Amino acid sequence: MPSGLTEFLNRRFAITERGSSVRTEFIGGATTFMTMAYIIVVNPAILSFAGFPVEPSTVATIVTAVFGCFLMGMYANRPLAVAPYMGENAFIAFGLAAMALGWETRLGAVFVSGIAFLILSLAKIRPWLANSISPSMKHSFACGIGLFLTLIGLYQTGIVTSSVKGMPPSVLLVQETGLLRAPDVPLKLGNFHDPQVLLAIGGFVLIVCLLYKRVKGAILIGMAVTAAAGYLCGFGKAPSAIFGTPFVPPYDLSPIAFKLDILGVLTIKHLPILLTLFLMGFLDTLGTLVGVGAAGNMLDKDGNFVDVEKPMVVDAISCIFSSLVGSSTSGAFIESAAGVREGARTGLAAIICGLLFACCLFFIPLLEPMQKLTFAYAPALMAVGLMMLGSITKIDMDDLTEATPALATIAMMIFSYNIANGLTAGLVLYTVIKIGTGRFSDINSGSIILSLMCLAYFIFGIPH
């Protein structure tokens, strides 16, 4: 890279000042992209259950990621990649199924929640609420998300799987109701005779060994080697084409862009939807900032994310943008921790990630089979989760009023398979236990407001 360009990038993003280098930022950005690129395929697939057309939805997913990553890099100067959230997309597709809402109204709900995010962020209410949470609780967010990522990786690779996999429906059928009962055991060990499971285990071991040796780009190298080994073993199908032209049929945004129904969602009966989307987005962002911040030493001595207002404003604007182009709630991705663990510390990494997403617009036909190589990218999630577990040592385990809500946060994240559920349960329990033990001085107005908001999520929202 020309020295002049390197100097410009260094000045613009304060790279040396933050203990990084241009090369490290490139590697970090590429690593983050590799660990979250699955969203290009997964998000449209999930939203298709709500009636979103797949090809336009794929373009909307990519465009949202490009916009969010560029905004995060240029405005907030943080190594946080942005894309449509997992969890929120499932809520849009499945959580609202019983309400028989059109996808246009569901996009309207995303838009309204984004406006609420932006207002609270600009008024500095949102960061004030975030900074009112105790250090132990914040570190429980990081630990819980780390274990959550590990579970996702284990499940996607098939190292663990559903306990009912391979069973006939009749085994779980309740004859009186015609419905399926819950299995006695939710998970079981996967098939270790499956070569793809063995490839995933090998990929995880390789990544850990490279990390131990402090090899730059360890996660990216591990994923690339595992993917290459998989192809040599005959896994993965050939794409139908390599190149595709974005913004023309079938990859055209016009069927979904600016089709949102805002007025249709502004009714009393839809208030639970707005409340749920707001809290899920707010808490997912908070959890991501704390989790990634802990991974990259971006938290101050009180466990607060430094200059938290800017990333939150980016999340809010990205959420509004995603609803306009036709996608679900977007925000900072926890997978950004993969790039941070590679040494990324500035917004240049986010811009690199955004550029890679932009390149994907021209390779959409090529992406689908590649993104099905879960044995290659899921081990990276497991490795990131492993590295985030260090936060558990910063939880005050000697104080039950801190340790109990922290444990509830971690457990509910993992066992309900939803980050927002863990955050809300922990924040409610924190205030309840502090009051119950007479520790009133530990509670501030921000924590009380957060607890009431989270309690409203369980009473009036639509937890899932």
Which string of DSSP letters, residue by residue, matches 265-307?
A: G-SGGGHHHHHHHHHHHHHHHHHHHHHHHHHTT-B-TTSPBTT
Residue ranges of alpha helices (H) inside 296-363 are 309-325, 336-341, 347-360
Using the structure block, give the residue that is written with the tokens 């129904």: 261
pLDDT band at 462 (very low <50, low <70, confident <90, very high): low
Q: Within 13 Å of residue 392, how many CA atoms lie on the same side as its CB?
A: 15
Per cent of the chain over pLDDT 90 is 36
Most confident of 5-19, 63-77, 97-111, 291-305: 63-77
- For the chain, the structural domain boundaries read 15-166+178-459
Angle at 414 between CA 144 and CA 289, to 5 degrees: 35
| 325-334 pLDDT, tens digit each | 999 989 898 8
User: How many whole angstroms separate alpha carbon 97 and alpha carbon 187?
Assistant: 26
| 373-429 pLDDT, tens digit each | 889 878 888 888 888 888 899 899 999 999 999 999 999 989 988 777 888 899 999
Q: Where is pLDDT greater, at 291 or 330?
A: 330
- Span 106-119, mean pLDDT? 91
- Picking from 269, 332, 315, the residue whose alpha carbon sits closest to that of residue 109 is 269
pLDDT value of residue 87:
67
- Picking from 278, 321, 277, 274, the residue whose alpha carbon sits closest to that of residue 125 is 278
pLDDT at 220 over 90: no
pLDDT value of residue 249:
87
- Picking from 6, 26, 7, the residue whose alpha carbon sits closest to that of residue 346 is 26
Contact between residue 206 and residue 222 where contact means Cβ atoms under 8 Å apart: yes
Q: Within 13 Å of residue 251, how many CA atoms lie on the same side as its CB?
A: 16
User: How many whole angstroms separate alpha carbon 95 and alpha carbon 451?
Assistant: 23
pLDDT at 211 over 70: yes
User: How many whole angstroms separate alpha carbon 41 and alpha carbon 371?
Assistant: 7
Q: Within 13 Å of residue 16, how many CA atoms lie on the same side as its CB?
A: 6
Q: Where is pLDDT greater, at 375 or 2?
A: 375
- Span 311-320, mean pLDDT? 94
Q: Provide CB contacts within 8 A for 112, sequence distance 6+.
A: 262, 265, 266, 274
